[in-house]
């Protein structure tokens, strides 16, 4: 009998099918199973542990379409030893994958409601699967609004898809950058300033936020000012995930474990922990 403890600790080999450059330091890698397995089912918001053999392992959110599990997609930024090593890999190279781990965005729970998605920087990556899910079942939701903040126009992820989403009549997409020069004709400022400019029914709105924690803190404040209830706000937290199965304790957030209880949390369940300096 297979051990339920050890199996999730064994990386499965996946081959890099394609590497797409998103920005100067961020790539999306498309992975296929080396053993021809049919797919890799996951829910929007979950993450995998990606293992570069001989270098190390990192938790990276899945950024692909949950309805197309055959091709696993991860968007990663070159910031540490492992992510730098990932981005040095080429098509055909193999890396190890463990997962999917963690909780997911409340895609089904949001049915019948307006949805406000607020993302910052690379925080759009874990939210892209949500957008795919919403678009594929568009008639089940009220308004769908995406607010996306980035550092500069050059740092925007998924530029082509953003253009496509902006072109749809049934999606409201607002993009803002912290600073810009030259030909940028879009918004400049912080993503929180977009919130008062959108219209939604606060009593029937589900909001999903992903980005740097300080950005989420100010976003929460704005959403609460608009009247969205804490139980309808969901955030994706980032901590030092190692085992992915709630054994090692590296990702502990007070009494919660981000790898298992999260990374997606209902804000109401962690409001006492959110922004607490000691944790």
Which residues sit at the interface with another protein, rule CB under 8 A? Answer: 25, 77, 79, 120-122, 149-151, 155, 176, 178-182, 184-190, 192-193, 197, 211-212, 214-215, 218
From the number of C-beta atoms within 10 Å of its C-beta (0-12, 13-18, 19+), residue 167 rates as exposed
**Residue 2: Cβ within 10 Å count:** 7
**Residue 203: Cβ within 10 Å count:** 11
CB of 193 to another protein, least distance (A): 6
CB of 216 to another protein, least distance (A): 10
Which is nearer to another protein, 130 or 176 (by Cβ)?
176
In the chain, what is the straight-line distance between the N-terminal and C-terminal CA atoms, in Å? 39
CB of 141 to another protein, least distance (A): 25
Judged by DSSP in three states, 46 sits in: coil
Which is nearer to another protein, 31 or 156 (by Cβ)?
156
Backbone φ/ψ region at 270: left (φ over 0), alpha (ψ -120 to 50), beta? alpha
Beta-bridged to residue 256, according to DSSP, are 253
Which is nearer to another protein, 152 or 230 (by Cβ)?
152
- Sequence-ordered list of residues with C-beta below 8 angstroms from that of 113, at least 6 positions apart, any chain: 141, 142, 204, 205, 206, 232
Q: Could you tell me the two tokens for 149?
A: 């903040």
CB of 197 to another protein, least distance (A): 7
Beta-bridged to residue 27, according to DSSP, are 21, 76
Which is nearer to another protein, 189 or 249 (by Cβ)?
189
Which is nearer to another protein, 41 or 189 (by Cβ)?
189
CB of 212 to another protein, least distance (A): 4
């Amino acid at each position: 009998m297979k051990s339920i403890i050890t199996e999730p600790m064994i990386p499965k080999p996946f081959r890099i099918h394609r590497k797409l450059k998103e920005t100067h330091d961020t790539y999306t890698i498309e992975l296929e199973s080396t053993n021809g397995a049919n797919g890799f089912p996951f829910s929007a918001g979950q993450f995998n542990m990606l293992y570069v053999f001989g270098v190390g392992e990192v938790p990276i959110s899945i950024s692909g379409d949950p309805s197309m599990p055959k091709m696993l997609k991860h968007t990663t930024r070159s910031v540490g030893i492992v992510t730098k090593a990932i981005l040095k890999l080429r098509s055909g190279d193999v890396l190890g994958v463990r997962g999917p781990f963690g909780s997911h965005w409340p895609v089904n729970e949001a049915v019948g409601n307006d949805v406000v998605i607020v993302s910052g920087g690379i925080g759009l990556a874990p939210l892209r699967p949500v957008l795919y899910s919403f678009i594929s079942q568009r008639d089940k939701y009220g308004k769908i609004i995406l607010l996306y903040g980035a550092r500069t126009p050059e740092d925007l992820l998924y530029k082509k898809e953003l253009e496509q989403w902006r072109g749809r009549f049934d999606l409201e997409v607002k993009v803002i950058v912290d600073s810009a020069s030259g030909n940028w004709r879009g918004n400049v400022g912080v993503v929180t300033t977009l919130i008062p400019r959108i219209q939604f029914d606060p009593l029937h709105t589900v909001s999903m936020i992903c980005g740097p924690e300080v950005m989420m803190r100010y976003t929460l404040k704005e959403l609460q000012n608009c009247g969205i209830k804490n139980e309808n706000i969901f955030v994706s937290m980032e901590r030092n995930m190692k085992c992915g199965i709630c054994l090692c304790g590296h990702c502990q957030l007070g009494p919660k474990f981000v790898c298992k209880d999260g990374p997606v949390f209902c804000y109401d369940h962690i409001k006492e922990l959110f922004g607490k300096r000691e944790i």
